[in-house]
Structure 1
């Protein structure tokens, strides 16, 4: 469903009254800097980020506000169009409920406030034109650990004034049909390609990794997601190579792919996510395929995941399926 309205738009900004728990500016990340230790970064749930942008007529790369568990309360300084996608939460404008997955008109002085995420964990707020912060190393994304990008390299705080990029585009009001919206649950199956260092585990431990149910701990952020299980992993006996630590999960430092699974200490698998370090000394025993990283990003502590072994060919097929789904959403929201 589409409606078009054209109007002149003065400079727009958001005055942050309350920042929420962890709200940062994100786009689709800054690839190409892993060699100097700068992670890919960008939206944890890229699909929800892209949908929010498409709903307000932006390119999918435009910067949004990514909120975690709770979202900012803010006041807009001029008319704009907003869309909210991702984790389910109550959204209100001046105290009146408004829907997610739809473009919403905001007028000067409108106050947007939100509840707590009830399904999923990360919600994306897009505005016509996109959030206007400086481009650093090719991206507007916040990398808090490195204090670069986003709004002064940090999460939003009360009193911040966040600018929105000027745009003379027509305001196109879109709504994403329910059938095309992502679903957020408390139990997911994440497909993994086993390796590169899985040979360091015993066969039984590899089987345990790819068959057991793992519960997400509260240690879950943009760097990585730590899971608990019922049993401890066992490593094959070996003489640690020169340069590796004494723990059996240690290796001589190597690069980490986004989605790599480590088991420091042998008892809690950690899935490295968008802001994870680019290299280190823990064995990567498997890697979550790219098609399933968004689902993991939306898990809340206490939720469960099963890491299902898959092949590289199956992973490529899943990526192609994910791309086709994105294309259907783009087509549905193009106008």
Structure 2
């Protein structure tokens, strides 16, 4: 094979034993998981806001961002559940470019997967320790989630992964909400099939073992817009799109019908400031129609300390995205308080 084995990585159990989760963090996670699950089961009317950088590239700036979120959370926790986006894997359309902290704990240096696995575990643990907020990550590599599964309260399956069998089957093993994005084509049938697969029980090979899962009743839709064959973005956050999704759920017989609207990516055409307007429209649709109010459980926002994006270079601004452009903190804070008033 045209492959070189650089080193053997520790299995998840060994890494967890080396970097164990303290009891008080286990208790925080259990309470947060219960609170978030209640939203997806329709037992709580709190609104979810999954918010944070496109890619978590630096522990210090990510934790500073999360501390700021925690301060806002104290003011809005009776209406909202804030879930920090700490995305440690970055999908790349062509396979080129920065692939996230898992690959490169230091974006300026060569890939170091062992260092990356340790770095992302420490960062997620530190974020909970300092803020009491358990976080979201993207399941880009199904077998790698086992290094973080005792820390996360939400996982997203990306637009390029949602048709993949291993992603779907692994999502069926989760005991936390799994958000299944519509694919880049925008095809909602693909997304609905992925939710059905994730909610069903399966038998398959996982990390060299023969495993059986019970299914994940908290698997749900994430609308992120699509792109047609000419490369034109097609948003799917409008009222008519949400009504269509509600109808598809009604026909499907799936458990816990739910949707999170990703207000960036193809919904905004990656025009990051548009996220503010799109959130407002989603909340208006939700307040106008009881079926949409029941269906739309939250929004997903890309935001960091400083707005926009920058190239990887020797003198980077900490807290400014090195992947997709994000809202800055000032706009984010205003938006969060606005969501709390309208949700």
Higher-RCO chain (CA-CA 8 Å, sequence separation at least 6): 1
User: Which TM-score applies when normalising by structure 2?
Assistant: 0.22
Structure with greater proportional helix content:
2
Which has the greater radius of gyration?
1
User: Which TM-score applies when normalising by structure 1?
Assistant: 0.22
Structure with greater proportional strand content:
1
